[in-house]
Amino acid sequence: MKPAMETAAEENAEQSQEKKVITRPEMEIGRYHWMYRSSRPHRYHHVPALRGNVSPLGIQGCFECCIKCLGGVPYASLVATILCFSGVALFCGCGHVALTGTVSILEQHFSTTASDHALLSEVIQLMQYVIYGIASFFFLYGIILLAEGFYTTSAVKELHGEFKTTACGRCISGMFVFLTYVLGVAWLGVFGFSAVPVFMFYNIWSTCEVIKSLQINMTVPGDQICVDIRQYGIIPWNAVPGKACGPILENICNTNEFYMSYHLFIVACAGAGATVIALIHFLMILSSNWAYLKDASKMQAYQDIKAKEEQELQDIQSRSKEQLNSYT
């Protein structure tokens, strides 16, 4: 038999312990409620907050689903993808046709011997095949980056339960940042290289305009003004004729092949510039998403530690209660 004072003290301790256990769900009464199921004891069940057209059973309405889906769309990645597709399409399509016209102009007016420009023809044909590969690669790469944008946006905003930040996902995001940076530097070189034929055609066109102005003013005969393609290094110095002067050069400038090739090279250069801008945009998006994922992973780890500590505290409280019950 225990003294009455000890029994009363143990009962008071047990009651205070029960109050500590009960007070936690009472603090979260906005998110939990009591539910009764047949003869089972009371349990806590998670109830989502009621917003908009959400029913009491937690089933979302059509409007809420649409808003949730629109909230997960990576609009910045979508704009960058459209810009990348447009730039690559302009560069590949216009560049392919412009190279074909350039070969035709060289064969007809600057290098009549096939052996003189055989190497140039092979290089241009190889560049055309490279253009096919560039178009295919960036079509797939743009879709992958858009999918990466969907994943990271959903993970950061926690729109879906299955989208959680993992170490593998962060590594993949970091890999895309590095690869996009390398491709951006490469496309800067492509942009500079695509400006070379624009410069060459612009010199030919400006020379033709000078010839026209001289013919109008009758100051200097136009036959003395020539354009030598051999100085650009695209054909050898022994190529015949290698240059065009006066009326012959003016006739070249008036052909449809020269007009189309000149303007297509300009559009191809603009497409390369648009692709560079799109890759820089992608680089900023991927870098910010990677930083957000890193912060989200730290927050998730903190929440896991906090939940573990709370579970340990509950276990300690339950063990203390069992010990008190065993003493009584």
Q: For position 232, what pLDDT does the model report?
A: 84
Q: Which phi and psi (to 5°) does residue 51 adopt?
A: -135, 135
Report yes or no: 242 and 230 within 8 Å, Cβ to Cβ. yes
Mean pLDDT for the stretch of residues 39-68: 52
Greater model confidence, 71 or 77? 77
In 3D space, the residue among 233, 232, 182 whose CA is nearest the CA of residue 203 turns out to be 232
| Mean pLDDT, the chain, whole residue set | 76
Residue with more model confidence, 314 or 300 = 314
List the beta bridge partners of residue 244.
227
* pLDDT for position 300: 65
| More confident of the two residues 20 and 121 | 121
Task: Round to whole Å and give the CA distance between 170 and 173.
Answer: 5
Confidence class for position 42, pLDDT limits 50, 70, 90: very low
Residue 5 confidence (pLDDT): 47
> Is the confidence at residue 51, as pLDDT, over 60?
no
H helical segments located in 254-328:
256-327
